[in-house]
Amino acid sequence: MIVRTLADCEQSNRKIVTETWDSTRMLLKDDKMGFSFHITTIFANTETHIHYQNHLESVYCISGNGEIETVADGKIYKIEAGTLYILDKHDEHLLRGGSEDMKMACVFNPPLNGKEVHDDSGVYPLEAETVV
């Protein structure tokens, strides 16, 4: 059995911080569960270009507000507490924080190693340095 608290993970190298988001990676590839689980905060009034070419992701909004825009067709979807969005086709998108930070629960398949950040194309590499 694996037991971790968000507070403990936030105080470790499992927390990654960028200009537009931070992500606490609570479950990673080394845990051998076949997926990874993260609690991510999208900062208010920011925009992040994302295009997961190597991963599928499901995201549940716990709190806050914002929107997601699919690049292919320009559709914009409102995000608020209780919203789930699923990137089932490696959808290139723009994720925007709204008037307050969005707290999100995220699941990735295949699982992340832990150090991933978006490259210039919005992609997480398939392999990255493993968090110890």
Residue-number span of the structural domain to which 85 is assigned: 27-109
Residue 35 lies in a domain: yes
Residue 8 lies in a domain: no
In sequence order, which residues have a C-beta less than 8 Å from that of residue 101 and are 6 or more positions away? 41, 42, 43, 44, 63, 64
* Predicted confidence pLDDT, tens digits, the chain (132 residues): 999 999 999 999 999 999 999 999 999 999 999 999 999 999 999 999 998 888 899 999 999 999 999 999 999 999 999 999 999 999 999 999 999 999 999 999 999 887 766 556 555 555 654 544
State the total domains in the chain: 1
Residue 115 lies in a domain: no
Residue 33 lies in a domain: yes
As a whole number of angstroms, the distance between CA 59 and CA 79 comes to 10
**CATH number of the domain encompassing residue 45:** 2.60.120.10
Q: What is the pTM of this model?
A: 0.87
Give the single-character DSSP code of 120.
Answer: T
